[in-house]
Amino acid sequence: MTSDIAAILAIDGIASGAIYVLIAIGFVLIFAVTRVIFVPFGDIAAFTGLTLAALETRQLPGTMGLVALLAVLATAMQISADLRAGAAKAIPYTLLFYLGLPLVPVLLMWLAAGAALAMPVRIALSLLLILPISPLLDRIVFRPIADASVLLLLTVAMALHFALVGLGLLFFGPEGVRTQPLTDASMEVAGMLVSLQTFMIVASAVLFSGLLYAFFGYTITGKALRATAVNRTGARLVGIRPARAGTIAYLLASVLAGISGILISPVTTIFYDSGFLFGLRAFVGAIIGAMVSYPVTALGAVLVGLLESFASFWSSAFKEVIVFSFLIPVLLWRSLTVGEAEDEAEE
């Protein structure tokens, strides 16, 4: 391997790692607040890419049907819960929050159908349409079992992933897509021609990571999420509602998944079931960060991107095996450093 090849592989790995950073941070964010390992995170990123591709071809994206279906299910479940709790006065709020707001981007998408939209508008509409998916999934699937064990929540998250894959095939079809590049420009760095899109990917990861840092460190809502992550019971005692904190976490996760899908769709072909591998690679980075540390998670995700890039050069057939095998020494190290854990419950 020459130095030029190594530099090219390093640049490609950093770009891939920057995308995984956003997904990995989303994993840590949701797990810290809700104890859910949100396996469908990668699916939402893939759906964003498919949505953007549909807008580029002036077609109605299948995401519209998915969001409408989830909104109706979530609204029916919440109205049923309101009636059982004797809170019929909350039904108008339920209709607004679970049905009205999620259907707004669906309506905007329907109105924009067939129009020649500029790229920033297409990206904005795609992100708006993806935004309600995670909170709706939380209400339908995870909130009824919020107090369950982490293992049960993980099992349900896996089942949800397979359900979303089936819905993805139904709403998007089996064809793969690749969106238009964000830019065709390039620049020379140290004698190498580097695409400006690569810089945009890395800059986006840095920007949104910085915004999350500022959100958690300097806003009341961010501090409430941190308090919920540290102690859910204590958060309740000081007036923080864990359910609302979970909804905010899922909203932020939808944004991160959407940005990831926008960034990755111009550089790789996206299918309805492509999200699982994206999420699994980012999950390796989240495990390196022990599902709690955002900076270590970000570094771990970049490391995964570099390892994937060099592994594809050494042996493309075993690229995935090499990347996922990296989990073994990480888990062994974690088990030796954390020590023995106490049982979650005693009979």
Domain range list for the chain = 3-334
Q: What is the mean pLDDT of residues 248-259?
A: 88
With bands split at pLDDT 50, 70 and 90, how would you rate the model's confidence at 346? very low
In this model, does residue 282 exceed pLDDT 80? yes
- The per-residue pLDDT for 67 is 92
- The per-residue pLDDT for 75 is 93
Q: Which of residues 221 and 141 earns the better pLDDT score?
A: 141
**Cα–Cα dist 268/258, whole Å:** 15
Across the strands, what pairs with 193?
A: 188
With bands split at pLDDT 50, 70 and 90, how would you rate the model's confidence at 191? low
Half-sphere exposure (Cβ direction) of 59: Cα atoms closer than 13 Å: 11
Torsion angle, alpha carbons of 248, 338, 320, 34, to 10: -20
| Whether the Cβ atoms of residue 172 and residue 260 lie closer than 8 Å to each other | no
DSSP-assigned letter for residue 141: I
Place of tokens 């699982």: 276
Tokens coding 197: 């899109």
Q: Beta strand pairing status for 192-195 and 186-189?
A: antiparallel
With bands split at pLDDT 50, 70 and 90, how would you rate the model's confidence at 220? confident
With bands split at pLDDT 50, 70 and 90, how would you rate the model's confidence at 131? very high
Q: How far, in Å, are 33, 190, 217, 291 from residue 28 at the CA level? A: 9, 36, 16, 5
- The per-residue pLDDT for 338 is 61
For residue 106, count other CB atoms closer than 10 A to its CB: 21
In this model, does residue 33 exceed pLDDT 60? yes
The per-residue pLDDT for range 66-118, each reduced to its tens digit, is 999 999 999 999 999 888 888 888 888 889 988 989 999 999 888 887 778 88
**Cα–Cα dist 232/277, whole Å:** 31
Averaged confidence pLDDT in the chain:
82
